[in-house]
């Protein structure tokens, strides 16, 4: 009987095997992260030298612990890690993470075979080796050397610890919290599919980010992904798409990257959202924190500056979105706009537009029902009150939550306003391209949901 | 005889026609920007009301000025702007900028025809209408409502003022200075081609950025672009690439965006570097501030983390760059690296890599002569001294300036190091994709230079 993944996210007791009192050593820093993070369960440092670390008693052997811990964090060189993992299995430990590298990614397949045998023999579950561990921010569990992120609705599964760490750093910078973070490395027991299935059921996870380099069991992956996509947006960045990338993946996590065209088709078929680069994963996550999908692909661009709107129109069309001009009926509602404002979509309120002009225009556009989503652009001229304009856009978005609205705020002095918008739940980007891609992701998600037979429904 | 563009960049005297004493009015803010910017020539506010603004005497008519100014900044409604421009022409003013909109972009073609007639009749040159003016930061000339950027080696020609403003804001954020900035709007007299030709000859301009929506005279544009590309890198973002974008461009600057495929071919043929989005313009400019080109397309990735390197390898291959593995000879030089470090390119120094490991590896790679460029990645683990590592990379780059090196520094706590790298002249990006695109741009530039029969030569 194999243990559930729950022991990784909700352990009551944790052993740190290879705990060290030397700052800078992994066995020290992981223990420190765990304690400073505020883990509320019992923590048992293990090291043959004994003594005390951070005021905690250090156990000289695993057998001398007062209980069999739920989770073991193993911070030892490869051969010793394998032995420690076997002892964990024998003692009835439920789950373990091996952080160390030096396994199949450098052709030490034999060591990894022994890990798998231990899993099969005792039912203990293994994350790694060659991974960065686990976070459950909602329970102050930071069993990782990565940054301690604040709790929130995004979860991440990453084959690469460092890449996961980059996403964590971006989350922190953008004020986005995280629920679960799992770096699974060589995936010799727990793989991406199992974690994805777990997160699909996790009520604290609203959006799933996946970085993977290869998939050992394609059928299992497709089925896990399909099931997850029915429940929540899954955003995937695939490493090893090209010949060079896939050779690199081979020596990184021993991943067989596979035929990229097949893989892309699998992702598309399953309804996953594909990210083109690292930053884009979080750009796309942001939009799903506010909206579940977009009913159609008719987008209206409302702007105070022509050039950025032209570029936005290009990016929208490149993403397969449509920019139909307003009907005569809507144009009549927009008659309050000065005659010199271009109104054929993009609707250009021109540089002197204030909050009131944005508000009235956005309301008319939303109420017309002629558009499924709005891309609103603001490049502040020196003479316009940026906070007032931003506030008006926020209020309009809140009063009309069913029509997805994404913002592109860029130029001088917009930083504070971007924070305001994001705090208000309006997905906000610094380039028209990112905003267009966010709307495209909402539209992709709609198609998935329709296929799954779900009803529609937006809302910040 | 038409006046030279030099009067826009080196005027000795400027009239501000439509100067206003009311803060927030364009006629006030442009005068303020000019004075606060520290323009050293003579400034004449003009307004029928007379009085004083910022302590300066306001002239009631253009005819009452003590001299015929080199440059007139016209901040009046369309019809009045046309009249004022005619008076400028009659009085022998050399150059004028009309900021106001309300001309051909809203089908007021007749007004624009009159502007062209005045140019032809008096030889006066016109920038605009519907533009954001001119900056020559080296002479403290800020004849614009845009932000006052510090002097530097990048110049920009922008059909859209706001889009130019976004680039100015990005420059400021990244600590990149600007030489000339020209927003040319409806281009009824001076167009992109003429400005590009001017900047190509300008000794203070090292890189030219161009945002344009349409080109009225394709042959003239191609010839100006070709000539400029022979002298310095020209980075172009084209607005109106798609049907939607080109309709938007039509109502923005009355630009006829033309057939995009033809346009792309023209840019490629001329050897211009094409940017895919707004941010990318500056990302690519950055690399040319340090390196002129890359001899070939063989790139080595040196990293301390596997996942980002896999992604970087993908992006490099997508950009047409090659990642050949090191030869046996180079591998021997790399024998100091621990056995578990993957060395097949990407060369993965693994998480514990310190500055010394980076330095020795980079030196061996550069000296091998097996690579034309290097993409170095650093994702700081908590236990590594980020400043020490960054310093080692900077020193190695400086000691080996002929091989272009771009950096991707990302994750937690890299902000300060990114500044260090950029100050040291190492083009630095926060994603592997941006770094790969920068190397691609250097490689594109090499092909152009070879075609032009130039010798090679890199160097920070």
How confident is the model over B342-354, as pLDDT tens digits? 999 999 999 889 9
State how far residue B315 is from chain A, nearest Cα, in angstroms.
8
Supply the Cα-derived Rg of chain B in whole angstroms: 25
**A101-110, A188-197, A257-266, B308-317, range with the lowest pLDDT:** A257-266
Beta-carbon separation of A168 and B315 below 8 A: no
Q: For residue range B82-137, what is the model confidence (pLDDT) as tens digits?
A: 999 999 999 999 999 999 988 988 888 999 999 999 999 999 999 999 999 999 99
Which pLDDT score is estimated for B456? 38
Name the band, by pLDDT with cuts 50, 70 and 90, for residue A408: very high
Beta-carbon separation of B348 and A251 below 8 A: yes
Beta-carbon separation of B277 and A431 below 8 A: yes
Helix ranges, A123-259 (H): 161-174, 192-201, 218-231, 243-253
Is the pLDDT at A181 greater than 70? The verdict is: yes
List Cβ neighbours of B192 (8 Å cut-off, separation of 6 or more): B157, B159, B184, B210, B212, B215, B221, B224
Could you tell me if B430 lies within 8 Å of chain A, comparing CB atoms? yes
B279 neighbourhood in chain A, CB within 8 Å: 430-431
Q: Report which of residues B186 and A455 the model is more confident about.
A: B186
Beta-carbon separation of A411 and B166 below 8 A: yes
Is the pLDDT at B280 greater than 80? The verdict is: yes
**A24-33, A131-140, B249-258, B259-268, range with the lowest pLDDT:** B249-258
Helix ranges, A92-217 (H): 109-122, 161-174, 192-201
Is the pLDDT at A457 greater than 50? The verdict is: no
Is the pLDDT at A316 greater than 80? The verdict is: yes
Name the band, by pLDDT with cuts 50, 70 and 90, for residue A451: low
- For chain A, what is the mean pLDDT? 93
**A101-110, A340-349, A351-360, B330-339, range with the lowest pLDDT:** A101-110
Is the pLDDT at A118 greater than 90? The verdict is: yes
Could you tell me if A245 lies within 8 Å of chain B, comparing CB atoms? yes
Which pLDDT score is estimated for A107? 84
Q: Describe the strand order of the beta sheet including A428-429 as a list of residue ranges.
A: A347-348, A299-303, A373-378, A405-409, A428-429
Could you tell me if B239 lies within 8 Å of chain A, comparing CB atoms? yes
Chain B's closest residue to A435, CA to CA, is B277
Supply the Cα-derived Rg of chain A in whole angstroms: 25
Could you tell me if B433 lies within 8 Å of chain A, comparing CB atoms? yes
State how far residue A438 is from chain B, nearest Cα, in angstroms.
15
Beta-carbon separation of B160 and A211 below 8 A: no
Is the pLDDT at B334 greater than 60? The verdict is: yes
CB pairs under 8 A between A and B: 242
Name the band, by pLDDT with cuts 50, 70 and 90, for residue B4: confident
Could you tell me if B258 lies within 8 Å of chain A, comparing CB atoms? no
Name the band, by pLDDT with cuts 50, 70 and 90, for residue B254: low
Is the pLDDT at B70 greater than 50? The verdict is: yes
Distance between CA atoms of B333 and A421, rounded to whole angstroms?
Answer: 53
**A207-221, A282-296, B253-267, range with the lowest pLDDT:** B253-267
A345 neighbourhood in chain B, CB within 8 Å: 248
Closest listed residue to residue B315, CA positions, set B393, B235, B375, B234: B375
Beta-carbon separation of B242 and A318 below 8 A: yes
A431 neighbourhood in chain B, CB within 8 Å: 277-279
Is the pLDDT at A85 greater than 90? The verdict is: yes
List Cβ neighbours of A28 (8 Å cut-off, separation of 6 or more): A19, A20, A21, A22, A53
Could you tell me if B248 lies within 8 Å of chain A, comparing CB atoms? yes
Q: Is the dihedral of CA B159, B165, B168, B169 positive or negative?
A: negative
Is the pLDDT at B452 greater than 60? The verdict is: no
Beta-carbon separation of A342 and B306 below 8 A: no
B258 neighbourhood in chain A, CB within 8 Å: none
User: Percent of chain A scored above 70 by pLDDT?
Assistant: 96
The interface residues of chain A toward chain B in range 37-96, judged by CB-CB distance below 8 A, are none
Chain A's closest residue to B347, CA to CA, is A248
State how far residue A66 is from chain B, nearest Cα, in angstroms.
31
Q: Return contacts of B24-27, CB within 8 angstroms, 24+ apart.
A: B24/A383, B25/A383, B26/A383, B26/B75, B26/B99, B26/B145, B27/B75, B27/B76
DSSP state of A453: T
Which pLDDT score is estimated for A455? 38
CA distance from start to end of chain A: 43
Could you tell me if B327 lies within 8 Å of chain A, comparing CB atoms? no
Could you tell me if B244 lies within 8 Å of chain A, comparing CB atoms? yes
Which pLDDT score is estimated for B372? 97
Which pLDDT score is estimated for B256? 59
Q: For residue range A53-82, what is the model confidence (pLDDT) as tens digits?
A: 999 999 999 999 999 999 999 999 999 999
What is the mean pLDDT of the segment spanning B74-81? Answer: 96
A245 neighbourhood in chain B, CB within 8 Å: 310-311, 313-314, 317
Distance of CA A78 to the CA centre of its chain: 30
Q: For residue range B193-217, what is the model confidence (pLDDT) as tens digits?
A: 999 999 999 999 999 999 998 888 8
The interface residues of chain B toward chain A in range 10-29, judged by CB-CB distance below 8 A, are 24-26, 29
CA distance from start to end of chain B: 43
Which pLDDT score is estimated for A452? 54
Q: For residue range A338-385, what is the model confidence (pLDDT) as tens digits?
A: 988 999 999 999 988 999 999 999 999 999 999 999 999 999 988 889
Q: Strand B178-183 to strand B133-136: parallel, antiparallel, or no bridges (unpaired)?
A: antiparallel
Name the band, by pLDDT with cuts 50, 70 and 90, for residue B459: very low
To test the contact with chain B by mutation, choose from A210, A304, A311 the residue with the greatest count of B C-beta atoms within 10 A, namely A311
User: Percent of chain B scored above 70 by pLDDT?
Assistant: 96
Is the pLDDT at A255 greater than 80? The verdict is: no
Partners of A113 in the beta sheet?
A: none
Could you tell me if A391 lies within 8 Å of chain B, comparing CB atoms? no
């Amino acid at each position: 009987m194999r243990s559930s993944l729950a022991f990784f996210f909700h352990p009551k007791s944790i052993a740190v095997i290879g705990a060290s009192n030397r700052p800078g050593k992994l066995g020290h820093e992981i223990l420190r992260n765990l304690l400073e993070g505020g883990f509320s369960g019992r923590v048992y440092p293990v090291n043959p030298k004994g003594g005390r670390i951070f005021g905690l008693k250090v156990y000289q052997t695993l057998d001398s612990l007062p209980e069999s811990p739920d989770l073991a964090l193993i911070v030892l060189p490869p051969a010793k890690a394998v032995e420690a993992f076997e002892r964990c299995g024998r003692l009835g430990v439920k789950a373990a993470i091996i952080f160390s590298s030096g396994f199949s990614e450098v052709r030490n397949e034999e060591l990894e075979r022994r890990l798998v045998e231990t899993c099969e023999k005792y039912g203990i579950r293994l994350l790694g080796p060659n991974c960065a561990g686990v976070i459950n921010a909602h329970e102050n569990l930071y069993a990782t050397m990565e940054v301690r992120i604040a709790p929130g609705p995004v979860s991440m599964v990453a084959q690469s610890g460092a890449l996961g760490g980059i996403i964590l750093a971006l989350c922190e910078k953008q004020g986005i919290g995280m629920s679960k973070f799992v770096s699974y490395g060589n995936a010799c027991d727990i793989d991406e599919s199992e974690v994805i299935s777990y997160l699909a059921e996790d009520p604290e996870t609203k959006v799933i980010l996946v970085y993977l380099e290869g998939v050992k069991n394609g059928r299992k992956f497709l089925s896990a992904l399909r099931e997850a996509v029915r429940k929540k947006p899954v955003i995937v960045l695939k490493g090893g798409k090209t010949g060079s990338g896939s050779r690199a993946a081979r020596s990184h996590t021993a991943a067989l990257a596979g035929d990229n065209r097949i893989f892309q088709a699998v992702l598309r078929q399953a309804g996953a959202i594909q990210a083109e680069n690292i930053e884009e994963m979080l750009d796309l996550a942001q939009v799903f924190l506010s909206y579940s999908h977009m009913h159609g692909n008719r987008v209206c661009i409302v702007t105070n500056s022509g050039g950025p709107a032209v570029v936005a129109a290009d990016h929208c069309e490149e993403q397969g979105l449509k920019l139909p001009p307003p009907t005569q009926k809507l144009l009549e509602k927009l008659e309050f706009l000065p005659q010199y404002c271009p109104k054929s979509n993009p609707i250009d309120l021109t540089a002197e537009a204030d909050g009131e002009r944005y508000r009235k225009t956005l309301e008319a556009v939303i109420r017309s029902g002629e558009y499924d989503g709005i891309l609103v652009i603001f490049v502040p001229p020196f003479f316009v009150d940026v906070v007032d304009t931003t506030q008006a856009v926020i209020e309009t978005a809140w009063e009309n939550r069913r029509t997805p609205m994404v913002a592109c705020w860029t130029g001088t002095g917009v930083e504070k306003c971007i924070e305001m918008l994001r705090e208000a739940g309006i997905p906000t980007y610094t380039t028209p391209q990112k905003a267009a891609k966010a709307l495209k992701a909402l539209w992709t998600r709609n198609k998935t949901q329709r296929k799954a037979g779900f009803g529609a429904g937006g809302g910040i």
